[in-house]
Chain A
Amino acid sequence: MGPAFVPTTGRPEPERDRINEDEVEPGLRRFKDAAEVVAGKLSETGDELRESGNEEEAGIFEFHVEMTEDPELVSAVEERIRELESPEAAVLAVGEEYAAEFAAMDDEYMAARADDVRDVTGQISAELMGRGASGFEALKTPSVVLARSLAPSETARIPKGMALGFVTAEGSRTSHVSIMARSMGIPAVVGVGEALEDALDAKKVAIDGGEGSAITDPDNDTVARFERMSTALAEEQAALDEYRHVEARTSEGRRIEVAANLGSASEAEDALAWGAEGVGLFRTEFLFMERDDLPSEDEQCIAYSAVASAFGEKPVIIRTLDVGGDKNLPGVDQAREENPFLGWRGIRMSLDTPDLFKPQLRAILRAAADGNLKVMFPMVADVGELEAAKAMLQESRAELETEGAETGEVEAGVMIETPAAALCAAELAKESAFFSIGTNDLVQYTLAADRGNERLRRLQNADHPAVLALIRQTCEAADAAGIPAGVCGEAAGEPEMIPKLIALGVTELSMGAPAIPRAKKVVSEL
């Protein structure tokens, strides 16, 4: 419940239309920079969506990123700037040309692309004028946002904590706005249709996301009812907050370490605030994406060292590069594969390309001087791969020592995500310092069910006897060898899965940081 806020949607108005001769060069530069900034923000949002499993939404951002870098768009805008049009006006004009072209196409889908190109060029223009494109900069007090529709790029620009909920005329439970609301932890009432028109003048709006209703300018009784509801919700959240910094233990006294999965070093601070006791999975792919060259050893070292220092003595598990034929890597000869998820990826690629793998291992060894780093190898299917990877780690250490570089201790473990690794767990445990079970892929490979296929929802579930049997076998092997067994897939953060995982012998849970307090509560109540 809160004041109503109606963002001024539509295209930004250029501050000026024309520029002088001597503003051309700076204008070209400013345009290039603004397009880069927008591309960066878009791909960041896309990555976040992908990490939270919204592959389809992430694809839209991929398309938007390509638009900001479109060579035809760029040269058309540059030409207009050279003809003394202001950069902000030029990019809008070119966007409008393409939008008109799409809108004229005899195809509903293509006509909708007109909105995409308007959205992207509008963002670049707004960036050039140093402001957000959706009028959300005017949102200074936490409010309920009312709009006909909200594009993902718009919801992403809402200042943190300022949206209490969304009410939109368009949309459904599975549309962008609903997904964004869930990831922001706020209620949304979508698809209200024409009823929105009447609500736009409201001073105050109360929304009940559970029931899917919105009440404009509520009377005193309604206000009281909503206040009771939101107090109850706040109390639930506050009760969870108490668990942020506890050490989770079951009633039998079994200590379960609760850690965070991170996609970049910048997330470290938030994760610590949520109560992360370490990092159970630090994905390194972000260093390799959206660029034309490979990250240098030094660049990688800086990123690993940042997360190592942020966590101090707490353990941080760095997973070596896990990409395959579905993502292009500059300088690596990747053939297009029929089945990238069953292809040349993870440790398979790393072992075949020492030029790629060695700099990563060296960077991890060097960064380990600044904290408690461990290294984990993805997609391992047999002990030979683990031995080869460890040999390369050893070789890298020897090289660094000869060079006189400072290094730290780095334990090496295996990500258990192929059924083969789970079945060979006893053998792998002899050579591993720890196991981490990647349930998302383990489910996909065990049940032969593509993670991204909507129709296979029923099979995208770690709570399947076959998967549970593999987890049990992995944990037993770990226990026999005296090494820890963690879980770093989505199952680790699911309240209904946590008791089962612990019963199977899991000693460590790693998840998206916001799920940590609830997971600690679930563990403490076992």
Chain B
Amino acid sequence: MAERETTVGPEEGIHGRPAAQFVKAAKGFSSQVVIVKGDREVNAKSVLKITGLARKGEKVTIRAEGEDAEQAVEALAELISADER
């Protein structure tokens, strides 16, 4: 298992297009990936679950379990903390 804490980057939080792109990236890993915020834990491959989960500046933890867990956590933590273009 791998996990990393990070801060949400996009201005309007996790929603819409950044959410879609995050989910696409998450689906590229075979590991099970979840985003944890406070006591909520949601499937990172579900756009409906991650939408509205957190806003800009809030801390979330990406946790993954599986063969490519390390890579998944690293890539997804970076993606979620990137500022929206």
Contact = CB atoms under 8 A, between A and B. Distances in A.
Bound pair: A and B?
yes
A452 B79 CA distance: 19
A117 B48 contact: yes
B23 A66 contact: yes
Contacts of A65: 20
B46 A70 contact: yes
Contacts of A71: 43, 45-46
A518 to B, nearest CB: 33
Interface residues of B, number: 24
Interface stretch (A101-109, A297-305, A395-403): A101-109
Given A117-B48, A328-B25, A328-B28, A72 B43 contact: yes
A63 B14 CA distance: 12
A71 B78 CA distance: 23
B4 to A, nearest CB: 15
Contact of B48 (A59, A67, A109, A336): A67
Given A59-B17, A107-B55, A113-B51, 13 more contacts: A59-B16, A65-B20, A66-B23, A66-B24, A67-B47, A67-B48, A107-B52, A110-B52, A113-B15, A117-B48, A328-B24, A336-B75, A452-B85
Interface in B7-33: 12, 15-17, 19-21, 23-25, 28
A336 B52 contact: no
Nearest to B45: A71
A452 B51 CA distance: 24
Contact of B79 (A59, A70, A98, A336): A336
Contacts of B55: 107
B31 to A, nearest CB: 14
A66 B26 CA distance: 12
Interface string A57-73: 00110110111001111
Contact of A109 (B12, B21, B46, B85): B12
B43 A59 contact: no
B79 A62 contact: no
Nearest to B14: A110
Interface of B: 12, 15-17, 19-21, 23-25, 28, 43, 45-49, 51-52, 55, 75, 78-79, 85
Mostly, the B contact residues are helix
A70 B47 contact: yes
A66 B48 CA distance: 9
B85 to A, nearest CB: 7
B52 A102 contact: yes
Contacts of A62: 17, 20-21
A70 B46 CA distance: 5
A113 to B, nearest CB: 6
A98 B45 CA distance: 16
Nearest to A120: B48
Most buried by B among A65, A72, A117: A72
A60 B51 CA distance: 13
Most buried by A among B20, B55, B75: B20
A173 B72 CA distance: 41
Interface of A: 59-60, 62-63, 65-67, 70-73, 98, 102, 105, 107, 109-110, 113, 117, 328, 336, 452
Contacts of A117: 48
Contacts of A110: 15, 51-52
Contacts of B15: 109-110, 113
Most buried by A among B15, B20, B47: B47
Contacts of A102: 51-52
Given A102-B52, A110-B52, A328-B25, A72 B46 contact: yes
B78 A66 contact: no
A107 B43 CA distance: 22
Contacts of B43: 71-72
Nearest to B49: A72
A117 B12 CA distance: 18
Given A60-B17, A113-B15, A73 B51 contact: no
Given A328-B28, A452-B85, A73 B48 contact: yes
A275 B45 CA distance: 45
A98 B53 CA distance: 13
Most buried by A among B19, B23, B48, B55: B48
A43 to B, nearest CB: 11
B35 to A, nearest CB: 13
Contacts of B47: 63, 66-67, 70
Nearest to B42: A72
Top 6 closest pairs, chain A to chain B, by CB: A59-B17, A72-B46, A66-B47, A110-B52, A66-B20, A63-B20
Nearest to B55: A107
Contacts of B12: 109
Nearest to B46: A72
B20 A98 contact: no
B42 to A, nearest CB: 8
Contacts of A452: 85
A224 B73 CA distance: 67
